[in-house]
Amino acid sequence: MNTIAERIADFLKEFPPFNNLTFTELSEIASNIRVINLEKNQTLFQVNDTLHECFYVVASGTVNLSVISDAEETLLNKCHQGDIFGLRPFFAKNNYMMTSKAREESIIYAIPIATFRPFVANNSLVLNFLLESFAATSRYASDKDNYGGKLISDNVFYPDQQSEMQYFQSLTYNTSPITTTAKTIIKDIAQLMTEEIVNNVLICENNLPIGIVTDRDMRSKVATGRYSIADTIDKIMDSPVITVVENVSLAEAQLLMLKHNVTHLCVTIDGTSQSVVKGIISEHDLIIAQASNPGVMIKEIKRSLASKDLKQIRERLTDLIQNSIYKNTPLYHVANIASEINLAIIKRSVELSILDLGSPPARFVWLSIGSQGRKEQLLYTDQDSMLVFEDVPADKYRDVKDYFIKLAKKTTATLEKVGYPFCPQSHMASNLQWCKSLSDWIKQYNSWMNTPGENSSDMSNIFFDYELIFGDEMLEEAIGNVVLQNTKNNSLFFDFLGNDVLKNNAPLTFFKKFITEEDSLNRNKFDIKTRALLPLIDGARLFALHYNLKGINNTYLRFKQLAIVDPKNEEIYLNCADAFITLSKFRTIEGLKNDDSGQYMPITDMSKLDKDKLKAALAPMKELEELIKGKFKLTQFS
């Protein structure tokens, strides 16, 4: 090995994933590496460039990765010494989705993929590193490690999203592939592929897949004269065929193609070659699936011009959620993705109303409240909202309010068409009561919080869980400041809220049996929303207000943060956080099964294991109740 290659191998062994290779393997890689000198601001590749046949490692200097979105260049990551980037050719055939540009004079090692691929296929640690890199968002990657060699994704995702989505994103593929037998003549198959306009055919024996032939085989083996068109198809087929289960995810499919260096995967009932063929997945299917990540869906929402467009996107989100549950993806990550898409749909609905009505006559803010405000809406549950507009002169007040009522009515009507039902309690901005000026809202919160026993018959706790959807941040901040001021030394308010939590109906009888509904519609069903989730939601909100956890509305995150600010009771809060996720998953599964809100669960239909899991998730509620009584000096009858 020459001295330069030896120096490169010595360099690479200090960084992942190369530190999982032997020095002999590194030497072979180093001997094939091309050294590139980049001047300051020189571009290595840019958006839409054809993929290179190599990926890159920064030897010295800094390389910026950026993407242009909505006419603005956004810096995604900075690659320093030892960092890998440009991995896209491993996982996709379409062009680059980002630009790499030297921030300063830099030396880059270009590693040919053909040289490196065998080490990926044969070393699970290297494969796992690339898998993690492929699945990592750039923002997540930048904070992941303190050492060199951090994970740099070549997939562009919507900002702030965890790309666990790739692990449960389903694939659309050909469910009626062409099949044939081993002794069919090549010429006949070539004619059939031409007539059907397909680039592959599966070879089966007793309905089980034994091989595959693609256009590439026809070109490289028949067109070159190696085999005659009169030969049988088994002479040119690739065997064995790589098989996968029906619900394979985008990430799994891409990695299998990478590992086995193939362009097609055969879908069978049980994922082995010993079961019946259900379809064929091609590289083209993966490229199409990549276009269905949250970022693309958000862009589609921004371009939507009618409720029917938004409804179609929301239905796709439901499919995504359903598949994620099926694949046991962590529910918190699913909720992150779902909430961003839900909130984008609401925002677009407001924008469409403004496009129809004309510019607002005053500054305003649209706030989602309730489960949308807490970013916990996975199912088609009802919409909750409030609208705050700035104070205006008395002679203009009526016209201004009329405009915003019209805006709210249009927006809530659009959302109802998309699939979000109207709130039964009418907690919506289209209600005159919940669409008003900042001064009126300040009076409302003052009344709720300072005289809770007298003037709070109209108070709903959900007005303390809000998320800005559209409009002026200063108006939202003004509401937040009023809430903050009124929580200081306000034992009356916390007495009221605390007792409200304690009034929640118990989920279990003294003998640990589920308390079920008695009305004819939901007889013998367990109300998981009212008896299980609401006590946790209300308890988390109570403590969040007490400890002034500003800007944290999500129940799971509230409990996680409470474990930090009140370490003495850390275990209770963490148990409640886990319980909330478990209960939410039960409700989501039930809702997806019945295409409803999932509120009522038929206990008699549940397995013993599920019943035990559900009971275990209810256990922390008692601890939370005792903590509330102790912290706020309450009894259930105060």
Give tens-digit pLDDT for 515-541. 888 887 888 899 999 999 999 999 999
Give me the pLDDT at residue 382, please.
87
Tens of pLDDT, residue by residue over 197-255, are 888 999 999 889 999 999 889 988 998 999 999 999 999 999 999 999 887 877 778 77
- How far is 69 from 184, CA to CA, in rounded Å? 51
Q: Per mean pLDDT, which range of 1-5, 61-65, 332-336, 359-363 is the poorest?
A: 1-5
Strand partners, 148: none
Give me the pLDDT at residue 330, please.
74
Give me the pLDDT at residue 196, please.
86
Helices 608-632 and 570-594, interaxial angle, to 10°? 140
Out of 488, 520, 548, pick the residue that ends a domain.
Answer: 488
Give the pLDDT mean for 63-67: 85
483 and 531 both lie in a single domain: no
CATH code for the domain in which residue 323 is found: 3.30.460.10
How buried is 630 (Cβ within 10 angstroms: 0-12 exposed, 13-18 middle, 19+ buried)?
A: exposed
Give me the pLDDT at residue 365, please.
97
187 and 325 both lie in a single domain: no
Position 143 in a domain: yes
Give the pLDDT mean for 373-397: 92
600 and 514 both lie in a single domain: yes
Average pLDDT, the chain: 85
Domain holding 520, by residue range, is 495-632
The pLDDT confidence band at residue 96, using thresholds 50, 70 and 90, is confident
Tens of pLDDT, residue by residue over 569-602, are 999 999 999 999 999 999 999 998 888 889 999 9
Position 173 in a domain: no
Which tokens is 203 given?
């070879």
**Pairwise pLDDT comparison (611 vs 256), residue with the higher score:** 611
Position 373 in a domain: yes
Give the pLDDT mean for 370-395: 92
Position 165 in a domain: no
Tens of pLDDT, residue by residue over 158-209, are 333 334 445 556 677 888 899 999 999 999 999 999 888 888 999 999 889 9
Give me the pLDDT at residue 36, please.
95
Q: Is the pLDDT of residue 150 over 70?
A: no
284 and 303 both lie in a single domain: no
CATH code for the domain in which residue 196 is found: 3.10.580.10
Out of 488, 523, 543, pick the residue that ends a domain.
Answer: 488
231 and 365 both lie in a single domain: no
Give me the pLDDT at residue 257, please.
83
- How far is 624 from 563, CA to CA, in rounded Å? 13
**Pairwise pLDDT comparison (269 vs 169), residue with the higher score:** 269
Work out how many domains the chain is built from and give that number.
4
Q: Per mean pLDDT, which range of 129-138, 154-163, 278-287, 613-622 is the poorest?
A: 154-163
Position 164 in a domain: no
How many other CB atoms sit within 10 Å of the CB of residue 355? 10
How many other CB atoms sit within 10 Å of the CB of residue 225? 7
Contact status, residue 437 vs residue 429, Cβ threshold 8 Å? no
Q: Which of the 8 DSSP states describes residue 505?
A: P
382 and 248 both lie in a single domain: no
CATH code for the domain in which residue 528 is found: 1.20.120
Out of 465, 488, 511, pick the residue that ends a domain.
Answer: 488
The pLDDT confidence band at residue 381, using thresholds 50, 70 and 90, is confident
Q: What is the pTM of this model?
A: 0.61
Percent of the chain topping pLDDT 90: 50
Tokens 């690339």 belong to residue: 130
> What residues contact 300, with CB distance under 8 A and at least 6 apart?
309, 313
105 and 185 both lie in a single domain: no
349 and 472 both lie in a single domain: yes
509 and 457 both lie in a single domain: no
Give me the pLDDT at residue 155, please.
40
**Pairwise pLDDT comparison (285 vs 617), residue with the higher score:** 617
In 3D, which of 136, 130, 138 has the Cα closest to residue 164? Answer: 136
In 3D, which of 538, 486, 493, 502 has the Cα closest to residue 374? Answer: 538
Give me the pLDDT at residue 417, please.
95
The pLDDT confidence band at residue 545, using thresholds 50, 70 and 90, is very high
Q: Per mean pLDDT, which range of 128-142, 435-449, 504-518 is the poorest?
A: 128-142
253 and 130 both lie in a single domain: no
Position 172 in a domain: no
Q: What angle do CA 242, 245, 248 make, to 5 degrees?
A: 100
- How far is 223 from 30, CA to CA, in rounded Å? 36
112 and 18 both lie in a single domain: yes
Q: What angle do CA 526, 528, 532 make, to 5 degrees?
A: 120
Q: Is the pLDDT of residue 357 over 50?
A: yes
Give me the pLDDT at residue 47, please.
85
Position 637 in a domain: no
Position 638 in a domain: no
Give me the pLDDT at residue 254, please.
77
Tens of pLDDT, residue by residue over 3-48, are 888 899 999 998 888 988 988 899 999 999 999 999 999 999 988 8
150 and 244 both lie in a single domain: no
